[in-house]
Structure 1
Amino acid sequence: MSVKEVLHTDLAPAAVGPYSQAVAANNMIFTSGQIPINPKTGKIEATTIEEQTEQVMQNLHCVLAEGGVAFDRVIKTTCFLADMNDFAAFNGVYGKYFPENAPARSCVQVAALPMGAKVEVEVIAVKG
């Protein structure tokens, strides 16, 4: 029996390197960071921070669903912004996915994100 289960869904962008969309282990799900790639085209189409955050959260929704959980099971997020001036606008969209009992979170500005993305988010969720 394997200690971990690799999760994959075609409803979220495929991994573009040696990593998995998510891994389930010990009743927990750990997602890789999601950037705002449209899984149908493989490209970033959204231009504003709000649109990009929405795409990121939809991608995470699909990955979490593959593991049998939803946002209410998320206990920790790590958020990366290319520009901290986007923090308030990012929060406006992000908050819709955690209307109550929000998870613990870190949010940092980074020098750059893959494919010129404005935002990347990874989550840890508990199953069951």
Structure 2
Amino acid sequence: MTGTGPARHEVRTDRAPVPAGAYSQAIAAGPYLFTSGFGPQDPETGAVADTVAEQTTQVLRNVCAVLRAEGLGPQDVVKVTAHLQHLRRDFSAYDAAYRAFFTAPHPVRTTVGSDLMDILVEIDVVALRRDAPAAS
């Protein structure tokens, strides 16, 4: 394969938690923005709330901060992957908090149970960058 392929660049903001490892907050590639999985840490204080509803709200605030850094919002999200520490116990409260961020038509979503190391929820998204340069 030859050529440089579609342009991609890192997206970062201080309004979301700083990566704790060798990864970016998000990468814009072609017409899409791909975020890393965000946890519920408040980017200013590092605090983590107690309930899954509060944690979901903070996670989605973090995701939205990265979307805004690229001129996007929740309405541009096309795919959501969510991990819950306690899938059966917390799904209802997580879903109620989630609904406050996304309106119809809702993004497609996968929600799974995962071992999350001291948090209750982690979410990553894929958003459509409507004004992105066309792939060559």
Letter in 1 for 2:113: Q
Structure 2 match to 1:81: 84
Distance 1:70 1:99 in 2: 11
Distance 1:20 1:3 in 2: 16
**2:50 pairs with 1:47:** yes
Structure-to-structure mapping, 1:17-96, within 5 angstroms:
17-44=21-48, 46-84=49-87, 85-96=89-100
- CA-to-aligned-CA distance 1:40-80 (integer Å, 9 cap, x gap): 02232x10011000100100110100111000010000000
Q: Which runs of 5+ in 1 are unaligned?
A: none
Structure 1 match to 2:121: 119
SS at match of 1:97: coil
Distance 1:42 1:49 in 2: 16
Q: Which runs of 5+ in 2 are unaligned?
A: 131-136
Structure 2 match to 1:14: 18
CA deviation after TM superposition for structure 1 residue 18, in Å: 0.2
SS at match of 1:69: coil
- Compare the two structures and name the one with the higher strand fraction: 1
- Identity within the alignment, %: 38
Q: Once superposed, what is the RMSD of the aligned Cα atoms?
A: 1.3
Structure 1 match to 2:104: 100
Distance 2:46 2:27 in 1: 21
Distance 1:86 1:18 in 2: 30
Structure 1 match to 2:8: 4
Indicate conservation of the 8 Å contact 2:75/2:103, yes or no: no
Distance 1:38 1:98 in 2: 20
Distance 2:103 2:27 in 1: 25
- Number of residue pairs matched? 125
Letter in 2 for 1:58: R
Distance 1:3 1:43 in 2: 36
